[in-house]
Structure 1
Amino acid sequence: MPDALPGLFLGQSDADQPESLLFNRANRHGVVAGATGTGKTVTLQIMAQGFSDAGVPVFCADVKGDLSGISQVGTPNEKLIARATEMGLTLTPRAAPTVFWDLYGQKGHPIRTTVSEIGPVLMARMLNLNDVQEGVLTVVFHVADKEGLLLLDLDDLRSLLVYVGENAERIGREVGNVAPASIASIQRALLQVEQQGGDAFFGEPALKLEDMIRVGLDGRGQVNVLDSTRLMNSPRLYAAFLLWLLSELFEQLPEVGDPEKPRLVFFFDEAHLLFNDAPRALLEKVEQVVRLIRSKGVGVYFVTQNPADIPDSVLAQLGNRIQHALRAYTPSEQKGLKAASQSFRVNAAFDTAEAIQGLGVGEALVSVLDEKGAPTIVARTKIRPPASRLGPATDAERAAIMAASPVRGLYDQVLNRESAAEILANRHSAADQAEAQAQAQAKAQADAAKAAEIQAKADEKAQKERAREQARAAPRPAPAPRARASNRQTPMEALTKSVLRTAGSTLTRELMRGILGGLKRR
């Protein structure tokens, strides 16, 4: 019976053989691919619930909202019951233990992390920065570490950008040129992320991974469903968040080698968003995380339309493959179809490329790793029906799940402890106060000097006034007696006056005669 198999029962092949994913090979990663409407979401749902039933916590993104139905008991119709009976499967409707998450805190518990934990590489990816701007952002993070400035939210990063811009000359001498134009570009990019609601992702309390890696008292693993219906409007934020979460798992979880079953299974839906226009440094980081996180007991499953969306360096590490139907009408689609068919181990019973195009809804080509770690021969498989609901949960049902959540109240309220923004604001405030005090002291000194000058002039004026008063009040000396002039003449004075009178009379007479004689001659 399928229920007794040592793995996750995926479905029944055309050869009436059960196709199961072995739990001890589930951490070797995998891919679920197929065109829109071919059944990828249902496959993801039955895999997530299958891992949960085995005691493995799961994280998956709900891009369209349909995956939220995993939290509700299924109501199988006649078609699903018939398919289960055909497979020899007893279909027992059952909901998975679900916790809803949402970066924006609207349809799930908010998820936050700090700017420091994101780091400059992922932040540059999120902001769509070029190489020069990413270099400046790296300098900003370096300055924060050097000066002990915590980068918790976007306000902290924005304040530090202003600080670096104001001190660009000093910082440039230490770590390289910091162009004001690059600072301005980063600030504009931050504004765009903030307008898209990305600022809700940064802050505290930051997510604790142990709140996602939970196993209930009934032995079932917690299914963490990230509502991504709004997040998909910001694809770079979506990709950067999921890669950050993978990186955190890689850094924090201890080495366990190859366990009997994974510690966590991580489904990365719309995986092509991670690799579109990704810089080489980011691709190297993805490849490193995928390659090494296996030893931490984490299985990563990329969900995308075509395996060609995933770089070869990453695709080569995905041992478990489930391929739904692909349509190949254009040359690029035909190229993708060929690449997908060549990634499977050949089955002599059919042509893989033709089989991929002829798959119906709910059918897939399956190749998983066997006990020896080798891929099995590809098999055309009917995917089993889910035990939980096909379709989304209602808002009321979602609210009820959140009210009973084990993390209720842990992340709902934002914390804002002192960080770079507050520290730099205090520095500016202290500098402004010091400048104001210096200005006030200088003004006081100037006022004192002016008052002293006015007082000196007033004292001088008063002193002069007192001198004049004293001069007016002093007694005047009596005037000296004048000598009386004598009218008596000396003999010489008398002779002189007589001679002058005689000469004057004689001259007068001569003149008169000359004048009168001239008149007579006429």
Structure 2
Amino acid sequence: MTSAQPPSDPAAAPADAALPDAVLPDAALPDAVREIAAGYAFTGPALELGAVLQGTDAYPQAQVRIPLGVLNRHGLVAGATGTGKTKTLQLIAEQLSAQGVPVFLADIKGDVSGIGAPGVAGDRITARAAEVGQAWTPQGCPAEFYALGGQGTGIPVRATVTSFGPLLLAKVLELNETQESSLGLVFHYADRHGLELYDLKDLTAVITFLTSPEGKAELKGIGGLSAATAGVILRSLTVLENEGAGAFFGEPEFDTVDLLRTAEQGRGVVSVLELPAVQDRPRLFSTFLMWLLADLYQELPEVGDLDRPKLVFFFDEAHLLFKGASKAFLEAITQTVRLIRSKGVGIFLVTQTPKDVPADVLAQLGNRVQHALRAFTPDDAKALKATVSTFPRSGYDLTEVLTRLGTGEAVVTVLSEKGAPTPVAATRLRAPRSLMGPMEPAALRAAVDASPLAARYRDAIDRESAYEKLAARAAAPEDAPPRAPEPGRAPGRASERAPEQEGAGGLLGSLLGSPALKSFARSAGTQLGREITRSLFGTSRRHR
């Protein structure tokens, strides 16, 4: 038998060379275990997951591993709540960092920040390390901590509305296909006429103008925007802003290239996006994560298959991305996942069962770590059966194994260095070397304050954009007749206006009603506007 290679982590190699006396020599391993171990005996650098599990016994000389070079073939980490998915992410992420690969993690529950601090030794960790042949030493990773829209301790992550694009924004606003198409028309018009959509008030201003008599005339050549559809979009934007989501859109916009950084000694930086403050808005944060991926796809050059990925992106709570998605949105996801591997980016989707992921996307996930599933209800049993059907044939009764796995155990199959699936292996996983839990608040704040990125992104800015341009042009003519106040309301009392009237019929609406805007809209196309190009998701970046 070809024995498994020693761990690629230099700190672990010396201790793993001297395994406990209780470990059986290769010749004494059960035949099934020996056969599985041979399938994971890679020659190149690899990540160490754990030891082959048979029954309740783990065999430290039979190591389960993932070749570093196949991590851009994407993966799936699945399992019921409480089975150890988060610790598996942490285990993989810290080894990637040690190998010089940057990592992105979405911290949904607030318990991933510990990856930036050394772990704490204890009896459970010592016992697990002995069971799987791991030389455990505490070590944290170089980490950056971000917060969506600044709602949290981390460095604020924002996107401009124009960069976010109509397809992703339609998902956040829960628009139907007709409304989504109309929103795309608004973006197209703004792109052509140099009307920068930096924040939500810019988009509101452009929609309001396009539903005015002057704006309708401008749209004749490329389609129309009905008052009813515009009203739905404006009301949805108002609700979004009232929920505090306006802080997510604006400048300075986050540059996704900052996710590709390495630190001292060539270790990859682990970027942690904290999301507990927005976990009650799953449609928003899951779509925002997709924006990060779409932007990376647009920005990075083609590189083909590398010996190690440029970035591995863990997409937690992935089922939220697909729930209620339009056909166009699903097609864009599928194509992005299919093509981004050639940019050197690997994606791991994290969810409860494989059935949460559309078949076309699931087919592209070559590396699988499946934690335990429970079969308490008929729906659970159906999900279990569907999960078993997605694995290659093996010597296991996976229906039984998947319901009996303990916390920190999983069924694994990955792609070999030649691109073929490895044998299915029940695995007792290693313990992460970083802190398994949240970092202390004071330490987290200190890490954020010390970041070289804090000064660049912390303070929001509000440059001249569509709102200011439209308002300024409308206000310019001195002979423009003032709009009479509505009966029974004092002029200028914004607090007494309904939200949709503030966007569509208030001061801005009065300004947009000026005939002067007609000539402005026709001449507002600029070279800057013409430089906008949009990706599969309709996301954009002006040339940097």
TM-score (norm 2): 0.78
Which residue does 1:14 correspond to in 2? 53
From 364, 375, 379, the counterpart of 1:317: 364
Which residue does 1:201 correspond to in 2? 248
From 73, 84, 89, the counterpart of 2:129: 84
**Pairing 1:435–2:480 present:** yes
Which residue does 1:29 correspond to in 2? 74
* Aligned partners of 2:78 and 2:350 also within 8 Å: yes
Task: Please list the CA deviations of residues 231-290 of structure 1 after superposition, one character each: whole Å capped at 9, or x if unmatched.
Answer: 221111112111111111111111111101100000000000000011110000000000
From 304, 307, 311, the counterpart of 1:260: 307
Q: d(CA) in 2 for partners of 1:145 and 1:371?
A: 45
Q: d(CA) in 2 for partners of 1:168 and 1:149?
A: 13
**Pairing 1:332–2:379 present:** yes
**Pairing 1:234–2:281 present:** yes
Note the C-alpha offset of 1:172: 4.3
From 90, 93, 106, the counterpart of 2:138: 93
* Aligned partners of 1:271 and 1:302 also within 8 Å: yes
Question: More displaced, 224-233 or 312-321?
Answer: 224-233
Which residue does 1:113 correspond to in 2? 159
Which residue does 2:118 correspond to in 1? 73
Note the C-alpha offset of 1:359: 0.6
Task: Please list the CA deviations of residues 31-84 of structure 1 after superposition, one character each: whole Å capped at 9, or x if unmatched.
Answer: 000000000000011111111111000001001111111111100211111211
Equivalent position amino acid for 1:187 in 2: L
Question: More displaced, 211-220 or 58-67?
Answer: 211-220
Note the C-alpha offset of 1:435: 2.2
* Aligned partners of 1:112 and 1:202 also within 8 Å: yes
Which residue does 1:47 correspond to in 2? 92
Task: Please list the CA deviations of residues 454-510 of structure 1 after superposition, one character each: whole Å capped at 9, or x if unmatched.
Answer: xxxxxxxxxxxxxxxxxxxxxxxxxxxxxxxxxxxxxxxxxxxxxxxxxxxxxxxxx
Q: d(CA) in 2 for partners of 1:247 and 1:387?
A: 32
Q: d(CA) in 2 for partners of 1:311 and 1:100?
A: 31
Which residue does 1:247 correspond to in 2? 294
**Structure with the higher helix share, 1 or 2:** 1
From 249, 265, 269, the counterpart of 1:218: 265
Written as runs of structure 1 = structure 2, the 5 A alignment for 1:279-298 is: 279-298=326-345
Which residue does 1:372 correspond to in 2? 418
Which residue does 1:57 correspond to in 2? 102
Q: d(CA) in 2 for partners of 1:123 and 1:411?
A: 22
Deviation above 4 Å: which 4+ runs of structure 1?
none
From 417, 421, 439, the counterpart of 1:393: 439
The DSSP-based 3-state class of the residue aligned with 1:282 is helix
Note the C-alpha offset of 1:211: 1.6
The DSSP-based 3-state class of the residue aligned with 1:61 is strand
Which residue does 1:414 correspond to in 2? 460
* Aligned partners of 2:149 and 2:158 also within 8 Å: no
Q: d(CA) in 2 for partners of 1:363 and 1:120?
A: 42
Which residue does 2:471 correspond to in 1? 425
Q: d(CA) in 1 for partners of 2:71 and 2:320?
A: 24
Note the C-alpha offset of 1:420: 0.2
Q: d(CA) in 1 for partners of 2:385 and 2:86?
A: 23
Note the C-alpha offset of 1:424: 0.4
Note the C-alpha offset of 1:354: 1.2
Q: d(CA) in 2 for partners of 1:57 and 1:406?
A: 17
Note the C-alpha offset of 1:177: 2.9
The DSSP-based 3-state class of the residue aligned with 1:66 is coil
Q: d(CA) in 2 for partners of 1:41 and 1:89?
A: 19
Equivalent position amino acid for 1:292 in 2: L
The DSSP-based 3-state class of the residue aligned with 2:202 is helix
Which residue does 2:147 correspond to in 1? 102
* Aligned partners of 1:104 and 1:197 also within 8 Å: no
**Pairing 1:302–2:349 present:** yes
Equivalent position amino acid for 1:286 in 2: I
Q: d(CA) in 1 for partners of 2:205 and 2:337?
A: 35
Which residue does 2:320 correspond to in 1? 273
Q: d(CA) in 2 for partners of 1:301 and 1:210?
A: 19
**Pairing 1:2–2:7 present:** yes
Written as runs of structure 1 = structure 2, the 5 A alignment for 1:139-158 is: 139-158=185-204
Which residue does 2:234 correspond to in 1? 187
Note the C-alpha offset of 1:175: 2.2
Note the C-alpha offset of 1:322: 0.2
The DSSP-based 3-state class of the residue aligned with 1:250 is helix
Question: More displaced, 283-292 or 370-379?
Answer: 370-379
Which residue does 2:405 correspond to in 1? 359
Note the C-alpha offset of 1:353: 1.5
Q: d(CA) in 1 for partners of 2:453 and 2:104?
A: 15
Which residue does 2:182 correspond to in 1? 136
* Aligned partners of 1:250 and 1:293 also within 8 Å: yes
Which residue does 1:345 correspond to in 2? 392
Q: d(CA) in 2 for partners of 1:196 and 1:320?
A: 38
Name the count of aligned residue pairs: 435
Note the C-alpha offset of 1:88: 2.1
Task: Please list the CA deviations of residues 296-344 of structure 1 after superposition, one character each: whole Å capped at 9, or x if unmatched.
Answer: 0000000001110000000000000000000122222222111211211
Note the C-alpha offset of 1:374: 1.1
Note the C-alpha offset of 1:146: 2.1
Note the C-alpha offset of 1:168: 4.8
Q: d(CA) in 1 for partners of 2:136 and 2:368?
A: 24
* Aligned partners of 1:41 and 1:67 also within 8 Å: yes
Note the C-alpha offset of 1:408: 2.0
Written as runs of structure 1 = structure 2, the 5 A alignment for 1:428-467 is: 428-431=474-477, 433-435=478-480
Q: d(CA) in 2 for partners of 1:6 and 1:86?
A: 23
User: Please, what is the CA RMSD of the aligned residues?
Assistant: 1.4
Q: d(CA) in 2 for partners of 1:95 and 1:201?
A: 30
Note the C-alpha offset of 1:2: 2.7
Which residue does 1:462 correspond to in 2? none
Note the C-alpha offset of 1:371: 1.4
Question: More displaced, 173-182 or 95-104?
Answer: 173-182
Structure 1's 172 and 209: CA in aligned 2 closer, same or farther, altered over 3 A? closer
Which runs of 5 or more structure 1 residues have no equivalent in the other structure?
438-522
Q: d(CA) in 2 for partners of 1:271 and 1:104?
A: 20
Equivalent position amino acid for 2:50 in 1: G
Q: d(CA) in 2 for partners of 1:335 and 1:375?
A: 25
